[in-house]
Structure 1
């Protein structure tokens, strides 16, 4: 079976070079706002789904929570594991597969770490796995890009030079996906990677979450938790509960 783009790109050293300047202050600001809004008790059990190198999980743990991070990228998990303690753990795991059942108080899927799969049923099955990991009153937080704004303001071509590598990036919308193509050369070799993320709308999430046995209780449009506006908001942030 042919590997999907996310199975090798996220584990590539070039992915980590291109995205080395993640905004940790922004991530911490978002977590602060979420926890102020949700008011989870200390030691609440939290799951960070597609945690990457663990920046959200590590900060949640610093705030006094028991956190587990999962990601498909072995390289990311190996890095995150260097921060482990008695209340912070990281595991290589596919989000589409069942994890702990009825265990977590809050599950997070942040920074558009969804929409990677070919079919809607795969996405619904992933949401069902997220739901089953939660206890009876558990919450799921999804942070996705706002597709409407992304499509309206698509920057078709750009270049970034990092670690002496020039990444030539092109973006387009095709077949219901936002597709980013990344081309560059390094040490005499040419590389070509893709990111393909479904252009899901709020209505798409409402439908899929309903199929997964969940409902949206709150919708926000940025990391300050302002109201969502389909045209102007940077993010689509959903707080979901079991039905």
Structure 2
């Protein structure tokens, strides 16, 4: 895919407003998840990890602090430019389309915080999983941390307003044609803005189909960042751990 501004995740993720709206994402929770995950996978210090769709690199930075060699990639040039301020030995960032495999191979490939399912073309979801497979070392583990769409849709808040840094973000959420949408409208310094998030409502069964087609096997399922068991009705997350079949 080229840098096509019609793709919502390119234009929206590249704005400062995306980071303002989501500035209060829980860093402590993210760090605990990384500790729990690397411990469960028994990844030794010095192992290589690819943080796929890394944003500004918060997970990458912490994984590096835990002793791993980390590469963070993202389609957003602005996010990568910010992440590169944290670069050091064994911690690098680059702009990359996750549909395409990197030439390097890794002990772990992590796709975190619902950074999947953005594509208009259904085939791109499968292409991404096939790319992850190519990026894994033998006996390496892939991880996709996705929302539990069943629980999200059941508890969807149709409308609300969040006031952050003097900006009133008006949010509207709905489900249409197999996607979960969030419309975002706000005014800043007299200028009106409108953005939209759109994520495919991928169920566990759909993920299983992707993995089967890619020749991968789900090894573990978790429902939250404490790595508790996945429950369809109540779990906030769908965390899939997989390896070569």
TM range, normalised to the smaller chain? over 0.9
Partner residue, 2:232? 230
Q: How many angstroms does 1:98 deviate by?
A: 2.0
Determine the C-alpha separation between the residues in 1 that align with 2:143 and 2:232. Answer: 18
Residue of 16, 24, 28 corresponding to 1:25: 28
Q: After superposition, what is the alpha-carbon deviation per residue over 1:39-88, rounded to whole angstroms, capped at 9, x for unaligned?
A: 11111010000001111111110010000000111111111111111110
Residue of 131, 154, 174 corresponding to 1:172: 174
Partner residue, 1:190? 192
Residue of 42, 45, 48 corresponding to 1:42: 45
In structure 2, the residue corresponding to 1:173 is in which secondary structure? strand
Q: How many angstroms does 1:162 deviate by?
A: 1.1
Partner residue, 1:7? 10
Distance verdict in 2 for CA 1:44–1:230, change over 3 Å: same
Partner residue, 1:105? 107
Determine the C-alpha separation between the residues in 2 that align with 1:114 and 1:62. Answer: 25
Tell me if 1:63 matches 2:66.
yes
TM-score (norm 1): 0.97
Residue of 55, 75, 79 corresponding to 1:76: 79
Q: How many angstroms does 1:3 deviate by?
A: 2.2
Determine the C-alpha separation between the residues in 1 that align with 2:143 and 2:100. Answer: 18
Is the Cα contact below 8 Å between 2:5 and 2:11 reproduced in 1?
no
In structure 1, the residue corresponding to 2:163 is in which secondary structure? strand
Q: How many angstroms does 1:21 deviate by?
A: 1.1
Determine the C-alpha separation between the residues in 1 that align with 2:127 and 2:217. Answer: 15
In structure 2, the residue corresponding to 1:57 is in which secondary structure? helix
Unaligned stretches of 5+ residues in structure 1: none
In structure 2, the residue corresponding to 1:56 is in which secondary structure? helix
TM-score (norm 2): 0.97
Partner residue, 1:133? 135
In structure 2, the residue corresponding to 1:211 is in which secondary structure? helix
List structure 1 segments (4+ residues) > 6 angstroms apart after TM superposition: none
Partner residue, 1:213? 215
Determine the C-alpha separation between the residues in 1 that align with 2:71 and 2:233. Answer: 34
Q: How many angstroms does 1:2 deviate by?
A: 5.6
Q: How many angstroms does 1:239 deviate by?
A: 0.3
Partner residue, 1:239? 241
Q: After superposition, what is the alpha-carbon deviation per residue over 1:104-143, rounded to whole angstroms, capped at 9, x for unaligned?
A: 0000000000000012211001111111011111110010
Tell me if 1:155 matches 2:164.
no
Determine the C-alpha separation between the residues in 1 that align with 2:5 and 2:64. Answer: 37
Tell me if 1:92 matches 2:95.
yes
In structure 1, the residue corresponding to 2:35 is in which secondary structure? helix
